[in-house]
Amino acid sequence: MPAIDAIAPRRFVFERDSFAFANELLWAYHTSPDTGKMTFSARVPKPDYAHRCFVLVRAARQFLYHARFDIQAKIADDQTYARLVHKTISRNPRHVAPPHDQLVIPGFADLREFSAARPQLLKEECGGAWRSYFLRSHWRMVFFISREHQQKTAANLANVLRQGFSPIVHLVQFPALTINHGMILFEATGTSGGWDFSAYDPNDPQRPTTISFHKATRQFSLPANAYWPGGTLNIIQIFASWFL
């Protein structure tokens, strides 16, 4: 389903609407070339900015839904930017602000440029790691997720993207805890076997990733990356209703 209101925002563009910095990995992951099994160990030194995947995807969409950038305006001081970021993050993530009600971020072309220039300010104002742990939607992953549910989810995500919205999804394998992660989808491409969804992964600000849905098995999959060995998982759309 789209956001609760019917106003479609501007479309998410990876190079413009994603953060320039990453949600850092707390663990270093290693995949065995023989077995494909992934192991992990603590990173040394410990990263300064971790456990913020849901913080970053929520914040990125808040800027998409509630703010616009004005590169022609004079660059402001940090106090002004902190206030604007706080106001943007504090708005309802399940609604889209009409153009006349959007907050104006002066002096920058987009979020990517703003976050490259003021990374520490944004890290401080977007919220702490607790926002990734205390989400209204976390209750859903503990209940059974059927193949029918995933088929309906894939169709709904493709429909929402066609309408111009950019859904946030929760990637899970519960009760296994091998992945518990958030991404923003911004494009759906039909394939002979289902859909390919282009996604912003806050763990990798350099390039988009692809989440695929396979109609034959009614399952989503994510390719191998720095923290995931690749394979099937479940998807839940979040920040989409009063209950999620």
pLDDT at 178: 75
Dihedral of the alpha carbons of 67, 71, 74, 80, in degrees to the nearest 10: 30
Percent of the chain at pLDDT exceeding 90: 69
- Higher local confidence (pLDDT), 132 or 100: 100
pTM of the model: 0.88
pLDDT at 33: 62
Whether residue 186 contacts residue 14, with contact meaning beta carbons closer than 8 Å, is answered with: yes
Please list the residues that pair with 235 across neighbouring strands.
171
Average of pLDDT values for 59-70?
A: 97
Average of pLDDT values for 177-198?
A: 93
Sign of CA dihedral 17, 21, 25, 29: positive
Average of pLDDT values for 34-57?
A: 76
pLDDT at 183: 98
Whether residue 235 contacts residue 168, with contact meaning beta carbons closer than 8 Å, is answered with: no
pLDDT at 48: 83
Angle at 54 between CA 50 and CA 58, to 5 degrees: 130
pLDDT at 191: 96
